[in-house]
Amino acid sequence: MSSLFVVDNPKRWPVSIPGVEIISSRDYLTERRYSDMRAAKVFNLCHSYRYQTAGYYVSLLAEARGHRPIPSIATLQDLRSQSVVRALSEDLDERIQRMLKPLRSKTFELSIYFGQNMAQRYAALAKALFELFPAPLLRARLERSGTRWELRSVVVMGSNDIPEKHRPYVAEAAAAHFHRGRLSRRRRAAPRFDVAILIDPNEKTPPSDARALRKFERAADAVGLACEFITRDDVGRLAEFDALFIRETTAVNHHTFRMASRAEAEGLVVIDDPRSIIRCTNKVYLAELLDRYDVAIPKTLIVHRGNAHEVEGVCSFPCVLKAPDSSFSAGVIKVNDAEELHRALEKFFDGSDLVVAQEFLPTDFDWRVGVLDGRPLYVCRYHMAKSHWQVIQRDASGKTSAEGAVDTLSVAEAPADIVRTAVRAANLIGDGLYGVDLKRIGRRAVVIEVNDNPNIDVGNEDKILKDALYREIMGLMLRRIIARKRLEFDIP
């Protein structure tokens, strides 16, 4: 994919960057070769981005041409609304107060060049603002009111706004930004589109192990996608990609959800999409949804302080309590009597007004059906940890102390009702990638939960399909990118 730096006057841009073409806004808007360019990342550094100026049209036409403009029109619109700026920057308040507390002045301006600032003490704040408002050049204005600092505005700068003495630093920041974005890329034969895979290198139990991530990368290459692994620090670069695939444990009050939402707003294909994250990570929602559509689930009660006395009558003892945002056996406990129930609910109610109580259904293993785009992809049996009632056993600190074995079947070998029920439950959530957990109780297939971001590890979920499993997922990403491009540009 070509990379273009679009400026008003290329002669004023201080340095060349290998692999980057520096052109004028006039050339980008008028020359046929740029409108015919199949794919490009467009770094828009024009002097003005006001409505119907050249800078505005560079970002607008870049989107029309299927290019990836930075800043995007969505970012420009966000910056025009100060209420949006304040709302999006609320999470930065603590950092702002801490960093600016030593200042004696009433106002402070922060220049942000490709996510960096010349003063190292403000580097973290500059990076955070760049992640919120991805644009090559930004200027933030803050004012002190009493003892507190408030962010008053964030505006996009043009290349002409760079002070002369800052230009060498800006050139270095631009080169560093571009180089950083290319480090993990291997040379490939003209990939059509770019997919970002979000990971947390420090996560102890990620959804995919390192070997599986390498297989996803090779599968992307095989179907014609350029793949790059990114982390939460790369939220400002999302507009450079065509798709986002999340391989980090998700939660709603978490950067994974914010990145999924930002990527979707930027027009990327996203798995897990924000709606799936909301629906799957809340057990209260799942219980209500599955019950509404008559999908078999354990006897369930949504517990609040006013109906806790009903738990024993509905679920009997022992029963299982689940925090609404529980995952991977964390936040899920078994209680054996009313006294244990009372103690456990008091702890749960500290974090949530609602708790899920379900009847305890002991089995030797749980079924897990992987569902992709409404189709069953793999079927596993997750066996309980030795001498434990869950697949994963955790110690008092929450760390995994034991884990059950996994065996995998082909979809054709698995019980038809298990697969059928899993697909039906997953389709109530969406059309992404899900892992549906079920138990066999007598003749019934009972859904325990539907997970977004399901585990895919080498030797477990991929044991039957092997590399084809990864190609199926990357192939879906490619098909959805192409479909979205056709929809955007009304291509039959």
Q: What is the 3-state secondary structure (H, E, C) of 144-155?
A: EECCEEEEEEEE
Sign of the Cα torsion 101, 105, 107, 111 reads: negative
Mean pLDDT throughout 2-13?
83
Average pLDDT over residues 294-319: 93
Question: In degrees, to the nearest 5, what angle opens at C-alpha 134 toward C-alphas 132 and 136?
Answer: 140
Model confidence at 17: pLDDT above 80: no
Fold of 86-175: D-amino Acid Aminotransferase; Chain A, domain 1 (3.30.470)
pLDDT higher than 80, residue 191: no
For the cut 50, the answer to whether the pLDDT of residue 481 exceeds it is yes
Asked if 2-76 and 86-175 have one fold, the answer is no
For 76, the token pair is 């420009």
Q: What is the mean pLDDT of residues 239-256?
A: 92
What is the distance between the alpha carbons of residues 417 and 420, in angstroms, rounded to a whole number? Answer: 5
Longest CA pairwise span in the chain (Å) = 79
The pLDDT assigned to 231 comes to 93
β-pair partners for 7? 24
DSSP codes, 289-324: HHHHTT-----EEEE-TTTGGGHHHHH-SSEEEEEE
**CATH placement of domain 363-475:** 3.30.470.20
From 431, 393, 152, 428, select the one nearest 273 (Cα to Cα): 431
Selecting from 3.40.50, 3.40.250, 3.30.70, 3.40.525, what CATH number does the domain 2-76 have? 3.40.250
Give the span between the Cα atoms of 71 and 50, in whole angstroms. 13
Q: How far apart are CA 428 and CA 100, in angstroms?
A: 48
Domain 299-359: CATH class, spelled out:
alpha beta
- The alpha carbon torsion through 307, 310, 312, 318 (nearest 10 deg) reads -40
Q: What's phi and psi for 46, nearest 5 deg?
A: -70, 165
Strand order in the sheet with 433-441: 406-409, 375-383, 365-372, 433-441, 444-452
The yes-or-no verdict on residue 190 having pLDDT over 70 is: no
Whole-angstrom distance between the N-terminal and C-terminal Cα of the chain? 24
Regarding the domain delimited by 184-272, which CATH topology (the fold level of the hierarchy) does it fall under?
Rossmann fold (3.40.50)
Amino acid at 113: Y
pLDDT tens profile 192-239: 789 999 999 999 889 999 999 999 999 998 888 999 999 998 888 898
Q: How far is CA 333 from CA 279, 358, 492, in A?
A: 21, 11, 53
Those residues whose C-beta lies under 8 Å from the C-beta of residue 335, and which sit 6 or more positions away, are: 317, 318, 319, 320, 321, 341, 344
Q: CA distances (Å), 47 to each of 9, 115, 139, 168, in order?
A: 10, 18, 13, 18
Please name the residue that has the structure tokens 């798995």. 271
- The CA distance from 22 to 315, in Å, is 67
pLDDT band at 84 (very low <50, low <70, confident <90, very high): low
Between the alpha carbon of residue 361 and those of residues 9, 236, 446, the distances in Å are: 70, 45, 10
Residue 274: beta bridge partners? none
pLDDT tens for 23-69 read 998 998 888 898 888 778 898 888 888 767 888 888 888 877 878 88
Distances (CA, A) of 370 to 244, 374, 377, 418: 19, 10, 5, 11
Query: If we measure between CA atoms, which residue out of 340, 363, 346, 332 comes closest to residue 449?
Result: 332
Q: What dihedral do alpha carbons 433, 439, 440, 444 form, nearest 10°?
A: -80
Which of 425, 426, 452 is closest to 280 using CA atoms?
Answer: 452
> Any long-range contacts for 45-49 (C-beta under 8 Å, 24+ apart)?
45/5, 45/6, 45/7, 45/13, 45/136, 45/137, 45/158, 45/159, 46/6, 46/7, 46/8, 46/158, 46/159, 47/8, 47/158, 47/159, 47/160, 47/161, 48/158, 49/76, 49/156, 49/158
Q: Is the pLDDT of residue 189 over 80?
A: no
Q: How far apart are CA 322 and CA 280, in angstroms?
A: 13
Residue 186: band (very low, low, confident or very high) from pLDDT cuts 50, 70, 90 = very low
Q: What is the length of the chain?
A: 492
pLDDT tens, 390-449?
Answer: 766 655 555 665 678 899 999 999 999 999 999 999 999 999 999 999 999 999 999 999
How high does pLDDT run on average in the chain? 86
Lowest mean pLDDT among 102-116, 146-160, 260-274: 146-160
Reading the block at residue 11, the tokens are 């002669």
Read off the tokens for 382: 């997750």
CA distance 354 to 318: 19
Where along the chain do its domains lie?
2-76, 86-175, 184-272, 299-359, 363-475
Q: What is the pLDDT of residue 460?
A: 94
Q: Locate 175 and state its tokens.
A: 């080169």
CA 265 from centroid of its chain's CA atoms: 12
Question: Could you check whether the bond before residue 71 is cis, i.e. omega within 30 degrees of 0?
Answer: yes
Report pLDDT for 396: 59
Q: Supply the pLDDT for residue 182.
A: 45
For residue 131, the surrounding DSSP H or E stretch is: helix 123-132
> Does residue 104 register a pLDDT over 90?
no
- Report which of residues 170 and 329 the model is more confident about: 170
Beta strands in 95-247 (DSSP E): 107-113, 137-145, 148-156, 193-198, 225-230, 243-246
